[in-house]
Amino acid sequence: MLKREAHDEHRLFIDGQYRSALSGRMFEKISPITGSVIAQVHEAGREDVDLAVRAAKAALRGPWGRLTVAERASLLQDVSQAINDRFDDFLEAEIADTGKPRSLARAVDIPRGGANFSTFADMIKNLGSEFFKTDTPDGGTAINYGSYRPKGVIGVISPWNLPLLLMTWKVGPALACGNTVVVKPSEVTPHTTTLLGEVMNAVGIPKGVYNVIHGFGPGSAGEYLTQHPLVDGITFTGETVTGEAIMTQAAVGLRDVSLELGGKNAAIVFADADLDKAVAGTMRSVFSNCGQVCLGTERVYVERPVFDEFVARLKAGAEELVLGGPDYPGVGMGPLISAEHRDKVLSYYQLAEKEQANIVTGGGVPQFGDDRDRGYFVEPTIWTGLPETSALVREEIFGPCCHISPFDSEDEVIARVNDNEYGLASAIWTQDISRAHRVAPQIEVGLVWVNSWFLRDLRTAFGGSKKSGIGREGGEHSLEFYTERANICVKL
């Protein structure tokens, strides 16, 4: 079972110890399932953040900085194993924070939390470097080889939709490269990030390597972290507007940034697609995690000959979804993360009515007549009939909804998919392999799936273009961000 430290009250984790915030401020963690308070969280002030950053800076020069790559990798493998050993604790923490179905968190979030450490522990042991032999002007020879060192203290600001998965996706490679971290999780999902401090201590990660501060963005822990002059790099996943603010603050001192931001992702369904797979895949990409997935689909373009059938089948699938808490019988979709976010999603539902969209299904708040009415649920929703200029087609909603449009040609659908300020991900459904290879490279996104969705190899590049972010994560792309590279030239 969860310890009290990691469940009822969330303190800061600084220099290997759980501490009350010097600020004296606390805030409430609300359950998205019941709308009730489930924890009190200490809010870090500027002095708390300074202590965390300085602890991280000191750890770079301490035992952590003296470890060999093999020793560091071994410790991270221990972290991975410890997460798996405490699987049920992390599972309970994750679903308490998010309200997502237990089956989803069990299959995706917690396993990836452990894998993010073991994967990068393996990769860092095999990281190669450049080597060039060069003729010199005097007829001699020189050799050039690459060297790398940790970037330093990394500020990690992680989101609420996949709290453990996306936090460890950053912390794993950062620590593998020898950095230290100060992590600010979302204020609405503090559980697993706090709990991970216990794991770090248990496996012997040196004090100050992993630090956790809780709080909000502007005027709180997030802003204090991104402004701190001893932070050497900042990695953030979240909204584009917040990413722009972080990038502005990182410019002072020329700190490096990695930003994975918003998306208004499209799926393209060609008439020759296997409709069973296309419908099933689109059901997942639209409604998984209540639509709160940066890679999720909110725009669906279906070739006209199969448009009506596809809409009817997706409607049937949406109406079969069972809404409820993590353990509700047959649950297929949980609540939104907060009352505030539900209000945002519902504002788009209301806009759809105002713009006279064809509401295929959903469009409101479900009424259950039981305890679920206290949670932050909305109906899975499908629209058709809106123009490409509509805010519902152009803006990220981050809820369980999509707009479906017909198209008639490849050129038309490629132009419509690309006519958006975001460029994170897309899915293409077709049985014509030549078409798949022809269309995929023309889509202006960082990640294209063909006949699948959310199929990830952690060694591959992940990130977006346009307003969907800067930089790439995954494999050597993560290792590149978390290291400083140097060339060493030796004249022989």
Residue 407, strand partner residues: 303
Cβ–Cβ under 8 Å, residues 30 and 36: yes
In 3D, which of 31, 5, 43 has the Cα closest to residue 94?
Answer: 31
> How many whole angstroms separate alpha carbon 220 and alpha carbon 261?
21
Residue 30, strand partner residues: 37
Cβ–Cβ under 8 Å, residues 446 and 468: yes
In 3D, which of 290, 264, 282 has the Cα closest to residue 378?
Answer: 290
DSSP secondary structure, 122-164, as one string = HHHHT----EEEEE-TTS-EEEEEEEEEE--EEEEE--SSSHH
Which amino acid would we find at residue 332?
G
Cβ–Cβ under 8 Å, residues 51 and 221: no
> How many whole angstroms separate alpha carbon 164 and alpha carbon 207?
21
Q: What φ, ψ does residue 165 adopt, rounded to 5°?
A: -60, -50
Known active-site residue 473: no
**Polymer length in residues for the chain:** 492
> How many whole angstroms separate alpha carbon 393 and alpha carbon 385?
11
Q: Which of 290, 294, 401, 402 is catalytic?
A: 294
Using the Cα atoms of residue 98, residue 103, residue 106 and residue 108 in order, give the sign of their dihedral.
Answer: negative
Q: Which of 43, 92, 260, 396 is catalytic?
A: 260
| Residue 359, C-beta contacts closer than 8 angstroms, at least 6 positions apart | 352, 353, 381, 382, 383
Give the count of alpha carbons within 13 A of 249, CB side only: 24
Which spans in 367-444 are helix H? 391-394, 410-418, 433-439
CB neighbours of residue 385 within 10 Å: 15
Which contiguous run of DSSP H or E holds residue 316?
A: helix 307-320
CB burial class (10 A; 0-12, 13-18, 19+) of residue 347?
Answer: exposed
| Residue 60, C-beta contacts closer than 8 angstroms, at least 6 positions apart | 150, 152, 153, 178, 179, 180
> How many whole angstroms separate alpha carbon 194 and alpha carbon 175?
17
Cβ–Cβ under 8 Å, residues 408 and 303: yes
Known active-site residue 260: yes
Q: Which residues are catalytic?
A: 260, 294
